[in-house]
Structure 1
Amino acid sequence: MAATAYMVTAPAFAKTVDCQQVTGFRMPKGLDVELQSYCVFSESLAAVSKNGKWGFLDTKGNIAIPFKYDLARNFDDGLAIVRLGSKEGFINRKGKLVISIEYDEVINFSEGLAAVNREGKWGYINKDNQVIIPFEYDDTIAFDEGLAQVTKDGKQGFINKENQMVIPLIYDYAGWFSEGLGAIKLNDKYGFIDKNNNVVFFTDYYLEYAFSEDRVLVNKGRKYGFLDAEGNVAVPLIYDEVDWIEKDDITIPGFVNGIARVKKDGEWFYIDNLGQRID
C-alpha cells in the first residue's frame, strides 16, 4: 500500500517525530509509546520504545512484540535486530529468537549472510547461526552483488562468500559494488574498479554515492553534478543540492527512473540524465 506521512506526537517527555505510517493508520489513544527516532513500518511492523524498552506495533496499533529489548531495528527479510544489554541477535516477525543474542554487533542479512562482530572482529553467519566466514576482519559491510568490503590493518578490499580475497586489501577506502562498479580511494584519488580489480577511471571529484542508472553523484567546491560510467561529466557540477529519492526500498541521491531532483539558486526542480530541466 502507499505510504502517508503523519506527525505523531509522543508524550511530553519524548520528541515529536515524523513517522511514516501506512495509509489509514492512526496511533491509538492511550498507547503512550515513545517515538524517539525516525520510525517507519517495515513488513507491517514498526519498532517503537516505551519506558526505555523497545518492541513492535502492527498496522492496527496492536503491540505485536512486547517492549522488552534495549534496542530494536526494523524488520528486513523477515528478521529484526534486537539488543539486550551489550549483545545483539535476531528475532522473526512472531517475536521468536532465531539468532541468539550473543554478538557485540550485527548487520542485517544480505544475500543469505549477516556480518557479526565478536570481541572486535567481524565475520559472517548464515540464518542457522553457523559461522561461514571466520572472525578475522577489523570492519566490513553487507554483501552486495556477491562481494563484501572488508578492512584489515587500515586497508580495504573485497571478499566473496567463500572468503576468497577477490579484490586485494590495498585501498584506503572501498565502497560497495553497484551496477558492476565499486568506489575506491587510492593515493588520495577517488575512482571506480570493476569486479576483476581493473581501474575503470580515477577522478578529481569527491564521490558522494554509488552508481545508479549509469550516473554517479560527485561534488567539487560544494557544487554537485554527475559522471557517467566512463568518468565523463554527464551532468555539469552546477547544483547546490541533490535530493534523496526512494529506489528499491532505500533512498539514494541521484537518478530514479531517469530523473533526479536538484536545487539551484534556491529552486528545486527535476532534470533528466543529461542535465536537461524537466518542467
Structure 2
Amino acid sequence: MTKELLNVKMNSIKDCQEVIDEIDNEHPGGTVLDGGVRVWFAGQKEKFLKELNEKLEQFDSISNALKIGERQTNFHLVQKGTRFGIFSGYGVSVIQPIEFLQIIPIHLGGNNSFVFIGMNENFKWGILKNKEFWNNETEILPFIFEDINAPTEDIYPVKYNGKWGLYYSRGKEFVIEPQYESASIIREGLWAVKKEGKWGFVDLFNNIQVPFEFEQVSDFSHGYAHAVLFSFMEDDGEVLINHQGKIVHFKNPQLYDDKYWHGLEVKTSYVNHEEYSYLVNDNGDIVIPKDKYRYLGRFSEGLLAASIDGEKLGFIDIEENIVIPFEYRVECWPDSWTNIFHHGFVAARLDDGKYSEECILINHNNEKVFPHTIRCKSLHFRNGRFENFWKIDDRFKRNFISLIDLINYQKGKDMSYLIRTDAEVEEEKALQRRIYAEQEPYEWTEEDTWDAMTDGMYGDYPGGDVDYEALGF
C-alpha cells in the first residue's frame, strides 16, 4: 500500500470548539490589521458562526485540519454514519459529499500536491471531484478500480479486475493493460511489479528492465533499489540493484548509508587556472574529486552528466563508472538544470563535430526513446514534460514532448497530432516567410551596429555611458 491513511481523531459535533476555532482562522472573513490581528466588522462574525454551526449540524463528527505531507491544509474529514466527506474551512462548504466508505490522499509529486481518492458504496476506488481546485465536474479517475497508487504525471498504477496496470487519466485509457499480480509506484521511470510470484521492474513502455526473480523489492531511490533474492530463515539474501538490474557492490562502504547521499552538490575548483567540477555531500565529504572533470551536472536518478575534456559528455554513477559513453556534447554550465534524468529519460545534445542544437531523448541504457531529433537551444523538463520556451523545431506542432507522447510512439500510435509531415513543414516555413515579407523593412543604423558589436553591454543606443562621437559614431 502506497497511500497515506487518514488516521485522524474525529471530534463530535457537540464538542468541537477547537475545530470551530481552526475554521475561524482558516476563513478569509474580517480585516487583518498590521499586527496580524483579524478584526470582524459588527455582526459579521456572528453571521459567520451561525452559518458554520448550521452546516456542522449535517455531520456526526469532524476532524481537525488535515496535515498532508508537509502541508497544513484547511480541509477537514467529516463523517455521517459510516460515510465520509471533505469540508473546507476556507470556503465553509462541503467540497466532497458525505458518501464515501474511505477517503485517502495520494501525492502527485512534492509535499504540496495531492488529490483525494475515495471508496464508493460498491467498494471501488476513484478520484474525488473537486470544484474548489478544478472548477469542473470531471472525474480524474472513474470509480471502477479495486486499488489506486500515486501517479507519475497523470499515469496511475491501478488494480482492475484483480490485476495491476497503468492508466492515463487524461486519455481515460490503459497504457499498460492490467496483467500484474501486485505493484508499487513508479520511481525513476521504473515500476515494481509482481508476476508469477516474483518481483521485477518494467519501464513505462512495459519493457522488462529488471528480471522477475526477486522475493521482495523496494522502489528505486538515487538510482538503486533493495531486493531480496530469497527468503530462508533469517538469511533473506538482500542485494542492491541498479537500473540495469545488476547487483551493486560499492567500493566505498559509506555509500550504503543513506545519510551519506544527503545534499549532493556540484562545486567548482581551479587547477592550474583551469575550471573543474567536483561533488560534495552535506558533510562536506568530497564524493567525486576536484581535478578530474571539466563538467559535472546535477545528480539525478543515480547518474551525473560528466565531461573530462569539456567537450564530450556522458553519464557516470556515484563511483565514476561510465554508464552512458562520452558521445554527447557539453552545452551548459556546471550544476545547471539541463542534462538531468526525469522519470527515466534525459535530453542529450548530439555532437557532430561542430556546434549543434540537435538533441535526442534517451533512457538509462542510452537507448533512443523517440525517433525525431529536437532542434532548440535548451530543452528542460518542466510541468511534467520536456519543453522549450519557444519552439522545438519546425517538425513539431507544439513546444513540448510529454511522457504520454513517448508512450504513444512506443505503442505505434498515430503521431500526426504532434509531428508535421514534410509537406506541412514546408507549408509552415512558407507561412513564416510570408509573415516576414509583410513586415515593414528596417534600415540598419550605425547605432545598431554598435549595439550588435558590444552585445548590448553598454545599454541600448542611445543611453550608455559611452562617448559615441569619440568612437566615430
Q: State the TM-score, normalized to the length of structure 1.
A: 0.58
Whichever of the two has the greater Rg, that structure is: 2
1:86 alignment partner AA = T
2:245 alignment partner AA = G
1:209: which partner in 2?
A: 218
1:82: which partner in 2?
A: 77
1:29: which partner in 2?
A: none
Of stretches 203-212 and 159-168 in structure 1, the one that deviates more from structure 2 is: 203-212
What count of residue pairs does the alignment treat as equivalent?
Answer: 203
CA distance in 2, matches of 1:194, 1:79: 37
Contact 1:90–1:98 (8 Å) recurs in 2: yes
Counterpart secondary structure, 1:211: coil
CA distance in 2, matches of 1:255, 1:55: 45
Counterpart of 2:244 (choices 202, 211, 230) is 230
2:221 alignment partner AA = S
Aligned residues with identical type, % of pairs: 20
Q: Does 1:101 align with 2:98?
A: yes
CA distance in 2, matches of 1:88, 1:152: 24
Q: Does 1:117 align with 2:90?
A: no
Measure how far apart 1:168 and its partner are. 0.9
Contact 2:9–2:63 (8 Å) recurs in 1: no
Q: Give the alignment's Cα RMSD to 1 decimal.
A: 4.1
In terms of fraction of residues, the more helix-rich structure is: 2
Contact 2:62–2:77 (8 Å) recurs in 1: yes
- 1:52-85 CA-partner distances (Å, limit 9, x unpaired): 9997979xxx952599736568333635461413
Q: Which runs of 5 or more residues in structure 1 are unaligned?
A: 1-37, 40-46, 246-253, 260-271, 275-279
Note closer, same or farther for the CA distance 1:204–1:70 as it changes in structure 2 (3 Å cut).
same
1:185: which partner in 2?
A: 194
CA distance in 2, matches of 1:106, 1:124: 9
CA distance in 2, matches of 1:122, 1:222: 34
Measure how far apart 1:154 and its partner are. 1.4
Contact 1:207–1:216 (8 Å) recurs in 2: no
CA distance in 2, matches of 1:244, 1:48: 33
Note closer, same or farther for the CA distance 1:257–1:147 as it changes in structure 2 (3 Å cut).
farther
1:199 alignment partner AA = I
Measure how far apart 1:114 and its partner are. 3.4
1:146: which partner in 2?
A: 154
2:96 alignment partner AA = I
CA distance in 2, matches of 1:56, 1:218: 49
Measure how far apart 1:256 and its partner are. 5.0
Contact 2:66–2:76 (8 Å) recurs in 1: yes
Measure how far apart 1:217 and its partner are. 1.7
Contact 2:149–2:156 (8 Å) recurs in 1: yes
Note closer, same or farther for the CA distance 1:173–1:130 as it changes in structure 2 (3 Å cut).
same
1:131: which partner in 2?
A: 139
Contact 2:66–2:77 (8 Å) recurs in 1: no
CA distance in 1, matches of 2:118, 2:222: 31
1:209 alignment partner AA = S
CA distance in 1, matches of 2:219, 2:17: 32
Measure how far apart 1:202 and its partner are. 1.2
Counterpart secondary structure, 2:105: coil
Note closer, same or farther for the CA distance 1:215–1:64 as it changes in structure 2 (3 Å cut).
same
Contact 1:123–1:135 (8 Å) recurs in 2: yes
1:64: which partner in 2?
A: 22
Measure how far apart 1:167 and its partner are. 0.9
In terms of fraction of residues, the more strand-rich structure is: 1
CA distance in 2, matches of 1:176, 1:204: 19
Measure how far apart 1:142 and its partner are. 3.1
Of stretches 216-225 and 175-184 in structure 1, the one that deviates more from structure 2 is: 216-225
Note closer, same or farther for the CA distance 1:57–1:180 as it changes in structure 2 (3 Å cut).
farther
1:200: which partner in 2?
A: 209
